[in-house]
Amino acid sequence: MIRAAGLALALALVGCRPPLPPPRTEAAPAARLAAAPAGVDVDATCTPTGIERCFDAVDDNCNGVIDEGCGLHTGLVQFAAAWSAPADVDLVVSDPAGQTPRPGEATASGVRMDRACSGREGDGCHGQSLENVFYDGEGPPPRGTWRVVVRLARLDQATPPVLVRLGARVGGRSFDAKVALAASGDERAFAFEW
């Protein structure tokens, strides 16, 4: 009490006021799942299962990054779809401006698809069927609604249903979903807000 009174007296003698508290700032909105297909559970909590396993589209070690150290590009926004059946699955991601990247090309906002697997030999995926889309732009990723579609392009020799795991990283938050696709053209759509 004496110390506080002494500080107040010292400040009064030199004509100073105690510093003002820092201004209140609004916290950045947290990423959230805005829409998911009926009957598909999306897990927004992470349970560490050990070291990161490659090409499973899961944040196995719960550090907020999907399949890091596996040769895939990552970013503050990343979507990955993995499957093991000999089928062609497409991962279609639209950024908040509605732009969708093609393999090897970036959208105006800096969203890229670095891996597109067809489920066939010679596609460069070496039997590790995974598609990966990530934000690679300058500055922070665009805010708004990110739309994601997991589509069975071709069933090929796979026995339906084709099980696909969707991993999503939006602003450092991980999401995980399992979808079953029964026939060519079958798809599931998701939306993430950030």
Kindly give, in sequence order, each residue whose CB lies less than 8 Å from that of residue 193, ignoring residues fewer than 6 positions away: 29, 31, 32, 33, 34, 144, 145, 146
Domain boundaries, the chain: 27-193
> Is residue 33 a contact partner of residue 192, using CB atoms and an 8 Å limit?
yes
Rg (CA), the chain: 23
Over the chain, what is the mean pLDDT? 84
What pLDDT score does 2 carry?
52
Side chain identity, residue 32: R
pLDDT tens column, 86-139 = 899 999 999 999 999 988 889 999 999 987 777 677 666 777 889 999 999 888
Q: Strands 187-193 and 145-154, how do they pair?
A: antiparallel
pLDDT digits (tens, 9 = 90+) for 1-54: 455 555 444 444 445 445 545 545 444 567 899 999 999 999 988 888 888 999
pLDDT digits (tens, 9 = 90+) for 51-74: 899 999 999 888 888 999 888 898
Q: What confidence score (pLDDT) does residue 172 get?
A: 78
> Residue 154: CA atoms inside 13 Å, Cβ hemisphere, count?
9
Token look-up 């696909």 returns 164
Q: Are 56 and 131 contacting, i.e. CB atoms less than 8 angstroms apart?
A: no
Among candidates 47, 31, 12, which has minimal Cα distance to 141?
31
Of 64 and 165, the one with more pLDDT? 165
Place of tokens 């093991």: 84
